[in-house]
Chain A
Amino acid sequence: MQEFFHSVTLDWDKCKGCINCIKRCPTEAIRVRNKKAYIIAERCIDCGECIRVCPHHAKRATCDSLDILKNYSYTIALPAPSFMAQFNNLEDVDIVLNALIAFGFNEVYEVAKAAEIVSAATRKLMATHDLPRPVISSACPAVTRLIRVRFPGLIDHVLPLHAPIEVAARVAKREAAEKTGLPPEKIGAIFISPCPAKVTATKMPLGTDVSAVDGVVAVSDIYSKLLPLMHHDSIEYMSETGKIGLSWGSSGGECSGLINDNYLAADGIENVIRVLEDLEDEKFRDVDFIELNACSGGCVGGVLNVENPYVAKTKLYRIRKHLPVSLNHLETADLVDGDLDWDTPLEFVPVLKLDENVWEAMMKMEQVEEILQSLEGLDCGSCGAPSCRALAEDVVRGLASIDDCIFRCKNHDDVPAPFRTGGEEKGE
């Protein structure tokens, strides 16, 4: 089995064991034991929900520090489309791109550029009708990982193309190697990321063995350093993206690049799960493409961003308003085999099943149901598991004790008379 790297981790000193996070995790990956949270590595999809909800800032995203630039002779900044929506009164993307050069990068390659190429490749692939409908976007790695652990029946529907960041890194590094004559290992492709899921996607990629991205820095780490470097005059023309590329930064943007009305876009992990459940039951009959983003609003809602997602969405609209539709096309892009297509297929990882053997699993499920009967059914989370069922499953898996339930210690006779309700007491 593959080893698990995760960007999302816990800061033990800060965690108070408050159980705020356990119910929000879409894969029930968090447990609290002895007043500390634990993340079950094989279940976590790095969606960042727990970072968003933790009141003590104990959940964090591990990214590379800006010092990573020093490891390379030549560095390429790869800013995400949503990055352009983080600044106030920005009317020109070039201001940000120039600031990245002033900061110390040798070159900038906009991820939005690669996004336009991926849009074009998607249109071409959809036209062949080789993929089962509806096709599901593979751009949000948290969603791809969710499908991999929870929706085996939908794996075939996932678009087998690299996400724009991966395409950007591959193309940019090759072009830089040709231009500078440097060996690839001296060239660093550094992504400026809105989310931890993208960090995990580069350290432990799906669809490829090795990612071309060499480092990932958080938007929040570089943001304040760029502000003093942003100038309005005497800047170079740099940007090579149109509307479609920038649109990818918010929900619905990838769909708009398909130039086809038969699509659906959902954002926010709970909504994503609802759509995937319905999709599994074939409730959408006439949809060609489904774009799913784990974050509310799309990547503008990524936890490492600084601007409010809804404000950012408006800003993105404003910046792209006067741009041409698309500036990047498959015919003119400098691509080689493997830049776009997945090298390895997506495989189901059944982390939620009770046992390898169906018969054993059924026995265990019977035990789970028996235990569940004896629990209160309040799903209060005080035991450290997100629901009574999750505790019952943990008990059967040998990971918890039924005595972890705080109601097991309580005796009904202890209830003072005024608190007893009028009805009869339950039988012995």
Chain B
Amino acid sequence: MSVLKWTYEVDGTDFTRAGEASSNLKKKLRALGIPAEVIRKVSIALYEGEINMVIHADGGVITIEMSPDRIDMILADHGKGIPDIEQAMQAGWSTAADEVRSLGFGAGMGLPNMKKNSDEMRIESTVGVGTTVYMTVYINGGPKKADA
């Protein structure tokens, strides 16, 4: 065994359950004795990704692969896709509807936060087909984060 693997179904219809995957993973990482700073980064990045799957893409599947030196997160959905990834990554850019904004989301800070809290991040998206976000957080330093 070299990795532990967990999958989480993200229900795109039940907003009140968004965040379950990140809080469940957080408990596991704590039991594994992962440093607090790493847990913090992973749970913030994953939570934002999870919320995006619910708000912008009707849910999907999260896969976590963890080895002693790194945590890989793969967030795959079959939602509407992101037409311009570079634009979506900009702080403050959001297509969130007013009703979502009234709940305090839609500041356009999710993707920038995910970028900030992960050591590596990559987005693949096709309009009308879906989006997959790959994020990696290293446990004991790992290779240095490349400039954004």
Contact = CB atoms under 8 A, between A and B. Distances in A.
B119 to A, nearest CB: 17
B21 to A, nearest CB: 12
A358 B36 contact: no
Nearest to A150: B30
B32 interface: yes
B23 interface: yes
Contacts of A334: none
B129 interface: no
Nearest to B43: A281
Contact of A281 (B32, B37, B44, B67): B44
Nearest to A154: B36
Interface stretch (A5-13, A246-254, A345-353): A345-353
Interface in B5-47: 19, 22-23, 26, 28, 30-34, 36-37, 39-40, 43-44, 47
B4 A356 contact: no
A326 to B, nearest CB: 35
Instruction: Tell me if A's interface is mostly helix, strand, loop or mixed.
Output: helix
A366 interface: yes
A350 B1 contact: no
A358 B1 CA distance: 14
Interface in B61-87: 66-68
Nearest to B34: A358
A358 B26 contact: no
Task: Give the secondary structure class of B's interface.
Answer: helix
Contacts of A358: 32-34, 68, 139
B32 A366 contact: no
Nearest to A361: B32
Contact of B31 (A281, A354, A359): A354
B68 A362 contact: yes
A365 B32 contact: yes
Nearest to B113: A282
A365 B33 contact: no
Contacts of B36: 152-153, 155, 348
Nearest to B39: A153
Given A359-B68, A365-B4, A153 B40 contact: yes
Nearest to A355: B33
Contacts of A352: 30-31
Interface of A: 150, 152-153, 155, 277, 280-283, 348, 350, 352-356, 358-359, 361-363, 365-366, 369, 393
Interface of B: 1, 4, 19, 22-23, 26, 28, 30-34, 36-37, 39-40, 43-44, 47, 66-68, 139
10 contacts: A152-B36, A153-B37, A280-B26, A281-B44, A283-B47, A358-B32, A361-B32, A365-B28, A366-B4, A369-B4
